[in-house]
Structures are given as C-alpha cells and as structure tokens.
Structure 1
Amino acid sequence: MFTFTVQLSDVDRGVYEELDLRLARHPSETTEFMVTRMLAYCLEYQEGIAFSDGGVSTSDEPAVLVRDLTGQLTAWIEVGAPASDRVHRGSKRAGRAAIYTHHDASRVLELLDGKKIHRAEHIPLYSFAPDFIESAVAEVKRRNAVTVSIMERHLYFDINGTSLETPVIEHRFR
C-alpha cells in the first residue's frame, strides 16, 4: 500500500484540492504504472472520480473512472498501453475516454492504429517528457508528500521534496 498526500492545483481547470490517495500496487503492476495512474487521477480530477475497484487486475474497468451522481459512467481513463478492445469498450460505455502512458507514445499509437476503436479520433493519448516518470519513480516511498500543479498543460511535480516538471503531451489517433 502506497499513500500520496497530494496538494493539487490545476490552474487550467480551476481545480484546487487536497487529496489523500491510497494505492494498492498489484503484483503485476510496475511502479511506473502506479505513478502514471496517480498522475492520471490528478490530471482528470473531478467529482465522482475513483480508482477502479480491482485496479490493474480488473478487465471490466479502467485504471481510473468517473461516475456521475446517478452512478452512470462518464469517463473511462486507461493507463499504460491498453489493448484496443478495452479502449473500444470504454469509449462506447462512457461519454469520454482518455489514455495516459508512461511508454513511448508513438509505440502505443502504433499498437492501436488501425484497430476497431469507437470514436478513436476523440480519444486523447497523454504522455510526459522522456525520463520524467522514471525520475518520479526514483522518489516514491510508502508514504509520499506530493504537490501537483498544472498550468497550460505543463505539469510541475514535487514528490518528497524533489521537484520535476514536464509538458503533458497530447497525441491523437490518425
């Protein structure tokens, strides 16, 4: 179990929150995936957001999801390099889908290119500067104090006193 006490300041969207996140890391989940999952949660933060119940081990849900007050799924947020059928299913089930990756974005797009994905042209794939995730992972402890600031889709990230920054790069399917 990893805890992240997050001071979130998303100037682009006017979101300012203090979050206490507890992330159980599944045995098959890398720390890179876990950090990207936590960042996706922060970058997508809104009322109704949650980590999926089963996390990475659940094939029926994405890593992060958003439900409205009625329980209706409104956003399907994948992490890593998801299979095309998961992205397709999520795009059909939710009003919006997105992918956050810690892998080479061009490789992820290549893997998904030409596959049947519902409304693929409307699904953003977000990535970070090379080595950003690896630098963040090097600072992860069981208990973490984190500041996440977003301004003009640029991420300023402080974890346990180490400051990092990266653009949040948006890619689109062809």
Structure 2
Amino acid sequence: MALKSTIYKATLALADMDRPLYADHSLTLALHPSETEERLMVRLLAFALQAGAGDSADNLQFTRGLSDSDEPALWQRDLDGRLRHWIEIGQTDERRLAKACGRADRVTLYAYGNSVPIWWAALQGKITRLRNLHIWQLPAAQTQELATLAARSMQLQVTVQDGHVWVGNAHTSVELSPQRLWPTE
C-alpha cells in the first residue's frame, strides 16, 4: 500500500521591505512521504521570497514536486499558460537546470544542506551559459532550525530586510541569510 502525503496548512503574513511588498497568503502544502520537514519549510520559504501581492497575475503555485520529475517545487505561469518562473529546491544537476532554463523565462534554485559547497564546486563551471538562472545557498544550520517551525497548521510571519529573512510563529523566530551563488555580481 502506497503511503499518502501529509497535508500542512500555512498562513503567511509577508512583509518584504526589499521589494516593498506586504501580503497575506493561505497555503496548503503536501509533504511527500520521502520528503523531510526541512525541505517542506524551504519550499515555503521559497514561496515567501518569490511571491507577489497574491493577485491573479502573480499565480505562483506549488507543484506535484517529488511526485512528478518533470515539475519543479514551485512555478509561476502567465494567464495564457506560459512558464514564467521555475523554482527548484535542493541540489539539482546541470541537465535539469539547463532543461528548466529552456522552458522558463527565469529559473531560481534554493540549495540547502551540508554538502552544498561540494555540489557547487562541481556545478559552477557547467552553468556559465545559463543566463536566466539564479542560485541561492541557504546555510544548513539555518534551514535545520527553520524545520523546527513545521507544524500541520502554521501561522507564520515572514520579514525580509536587507537580504536577511526572519520566519517566526507566536513562540520563536529563525533568521536566515541567503547567499547568492549565481550569477556572481
């Protein structure tokens, strides 16, 4: 018998001073049986960092992700169906990134985990031609701490200012410092 996904509900109060954007989002996320709560929370963080005002033109959506190898963790489509933004989570190989860059106007990858420096050293020279690719590293200790906020029903406040992100609930807060890996500027 196949294991079923676990459903998580999240209410995000987003205050992004870097963009300036203030919005509330009610989200339903499915935790795949092979997925960790750390990955689930990184997906939620990616949503917060890429979401717009929440209007119909924004259209940022969670996909089937791990259940479908042809889909990213999140994507944004135009109202006519054109793929505007492909958002990956984890340590993806260059073939998948190249395929995503060919399909979408913009590709963003949030890499996390202790092995990111090793993965990045192997990948860095292979992606130079991918002009619409953006890669961010989320420090492992910070994403592990973020995972402690996971609950089946979450009310989270997300604040972004000067490149730093604070995610918190009524009891605790976690600070994250995403680091740009690509493109280098």
Q: TM-score, normalised by structure 2?
A: 0.85
- Partner SS, residue 44 of structure 2: helix
1:21 aligns with 2:27: yes
Matched residues in 1 for 2:183 and 2:121: separation?
A: 9
The question of whether the paired residues in 1 share the 8 Å contact of 2:101 and 2:132 is answered with no
Shift of 1:5: 0.8
1:132-169 deviations in Å (ceiling 9; x for gaps): 11112123111111011111111011034211112221
Q: Deviations over 1:88-120 (max 9, x none)?
A: 1111111111101222432331342344x4843
**Structure 1, 134-143 or 123-132: larger mean CA deviation:** 123-132
Question: Are the counterparts in 2 of residues 63 and 79 from structure 1 also a CA contact under 8 Å?
Answer: yes
Query: Counterpart of 2:31 in 1: which secondary structure?
Result: coil
**Aligned residue-pair number:** 172
The 5 A counterparts of 1:1-174 are 1-46=7-52, 47-52=58-63, 54-104=64-114, 105-115=116-126, 117=127, 119-120=129-130, 122-172=132-182
Identity %: 30
Structure 1 runs not aligned, ≥5 long: none
Matched residue type, 1:106: P
CA-based RMSD of the aligned residues comes to 1.9
The answer (yes or no) to whether the contact 1:77–1:97 under 8 Å persists in 2 is: yes
Q: Return the alpha-carbon distance in structure 2 between the equivalents of residues 166 and 69 of structure 1.
A: 33
Any conservation in 2 of the 1:91–1:119 contact (CA below 8 Å)? no
> How much does 1:121 deviate?
5.1
Moved more, 106-115 or 154-163: 106-115
CA distance in 2, matches of 1:40, 1:80: 11
**Compared CA separation, residues 91 and 118, structure 1 to 2 (3 A):** farther
| Matched residue SS, 1:113 | helix
Alpha-carbon deviation of 1:58?
A: 1.0
Does the CA contact (< 8 Å) of 2:77 and 2:84 recur in 1?
yes
TM (normalized to structure 1)? 0.90
3-state DSSP class of the match of 2:121? Answer: helix
Which amino acid is the alignment partner of residue 171 of structure 2? G
Per-residue deviation, 1:130: 4.0
